[in-house]
Amino acid sequence: MKLVARYTQIADDFAVADQPSAVIAPNLLLWNDKLARQLNIEVATSERAVIFSGNLNNSDVAAVALGYSGHQFGHFSPRLGDGRAHLLGAVTDQQQQLWDIQLKGSGATPFSRGGDGRCAIGPAVREYIMSEAMHGLGIPTTRCLAVVASGETVYRQPPQQGAIVTRVASSHIRVGSFQYLAAQGDVTGLKTLADLAIERHYPEIKSTGSARYLAFLTAVIEKQVSLIVSWMRVGFIHGVMNTDNTLVSGETIDYGPCAMMNQFDFDTVFSSIDRQGRYAFGNQPNIANWNCARLAESLIPLISDDEEQAVELLSPLINGFAEQFHQAFTQMWAKKLGFDGHQDGDAELVSELLTLLKTHQLDYTNTFDSLTESLQGQTAIPSDLAGWSIKWLARTNTQSYQLMRQANPRLIPRNHIVESIIQQYESTGESSMLDEYLTALRSPYQLLASPAFWYSPPVDMDTNYQTFCGT
C-alpha cells in the first residue's frame, strides 16, 4: 500500500506527526474487498489486521493527527482535532484520484484532551454498515475499508470490546479545519488549505484573488445543499452536524448518533445528546446554512483586508442558501412523486401529503415505495391517502414510475436491524446476517429475495430508540 502525505505543508500544528498505539490482539472483523480493489490496496490477508489496527507501519509516510476547531451544538471549541484518529496518508485509486486512509480508535493523540483514544466495537460496526448503505443509496459519503477488533476492553458505560475503523475519504478538510486556522490568525495557512481544497474538490475554479475563494464558498454551498436534500430524500438524520463534522467535499462523515426516520415527522430526533432538537430531521437545512456561514467567516481574510467589504461580498452567498435549497428541495419532491417538472399547485399537493403522513403516522420509506409500485399495479395505495391520490395520479404520466423508482428506495438500513447486527458482533464477534444484508443495502432500489422483515419498520416504530456518539 503506497501512501503519500497530504496536509503537512498547511501549517504548524495542523498535521501533527503521531503514531497509532499498538493493541494486544488485533483481529480482522470486516474487510471491504470491493473498495480495496478500487483503491488499488493489495494487502495480504495475514497482514490486514496488524496494518489496519495500527500495529504495523510499513510506509515511509508518517501518520498524523489533524487539527481542527468546531462549533458543537452552537458552542465554539477552538482546538478539537483528531483525538482518537490517525491519518496514515493517501492512496491513488484506479482513476488516479487521491483518497485519505484514516484509522479511528487507534489511540490517544496530542488532540485527545484526556481521552483514551479508543473506539468500541459497536460504533465501528455501525459506521461500516451505515456508510455502505449511504453509498448504495447514491449519497456522497466516507467509506469503511476495515474494522479490526483490538482484543482490549474499552472503558465506557458499560465496558465494551475495542475496535479500530479504517475510514476512506476524498479528504478530511472540514469547515472546522478553516476555523482552526482562522482562530489562530494564520492567513497563509488558510490560503494554502483553501487552494488544496480547490485543487482536490473544485479544480474547475480557475479564478484568482478574492474571486477564487468566493467561488470556493459558492461550490461548497452547492455541495451542502445537494447533500442535505439527499439525506432528506431517504429519511437520514445525521444527529451531530457540528462544523467539525462538515466536510467541504460534501461527503457524509461521522455516523455516531445517526439514524433513519420511520414515521414521517420533521421533528424526529434520535440522538441522546440533542436534547433541544437542534439537529432534528427538518432542521438539517438550517444547520447546513449556519455551518456554511461559519466557513464564510473563516474565509474573510482571503476576501479582503477590509472586513466590512469582505462581509459585503460573502453575505449574498450565505443569504442565497435558503432559496437554493428550496429549489433543490422542490425538485427532489417532484422526483419522489414522479413529476417531470414543477407546476402551480404541486407545493400544496406535497404539503397535504406530508400532513397525512404525520397525522396517520405512516412509514416514510414504505409509503413512497407503495406509491411508486402502485403505478405498476403491484401494490395498493395506502387507504389513508386514497383521497389525496386522486389529485396525485392526475399529475403522473408514463415517465413517473421510472422517476419515482430512482428517487425512492425500497430498503434503508432500519435502526432495529442495524442494532441487532451490532449486538451480534458485541456478543460473538460476527453476524450471520451481515453479508446478505450488505448485499441488499448496496442495491436499495431493487426488491431482492431477502427476508421481509428487513423492509418493515419495528413494531414499536423506534418510540424509545436513542443513538449515542461512539466513534
Q: Which residues are catalytic?
A: 244
Residue 250: name the closest of 281, 218, 274 by CA.
218
Residue 237: name the closest of 253, 221, 260, 255 by CA.
260
Measured CA to CA, the distance from residue 39 to residue 318 in angstroms comes to: 36
Give the torsion through C-alpha atoms of 21, 26, 28, 30, to 10 deg: -50
Q: Could you list the beta-strand ranges (E) of 196-242.
A: 236-237
Which residue bears the cell 409509503? 367
For residue 390, give the 3-state DSSP assignment.
helix
Distance from chain centroid for Cα 160:
25
According to DSSP, the residues that pair with 27 across neighbouring strands are 149
Which residues 6+ apart lie within 8 Å of 403 measured at CB? Answer: 335, 338, 339, 340
Residue 363: name the closest of 325, 327, 409 by CA.
409
- Residue 122 in grid coordinates: 459497536
Cβ atoms 46, 126 nearer than 8 A:
no
- What are the residue ranges of helices labelled H in 145-186? 175-183
Cβ atoms 241, 343 nearer than 8 A:
no
Cβ atoms 300, 77 nearer than 8 A:
no
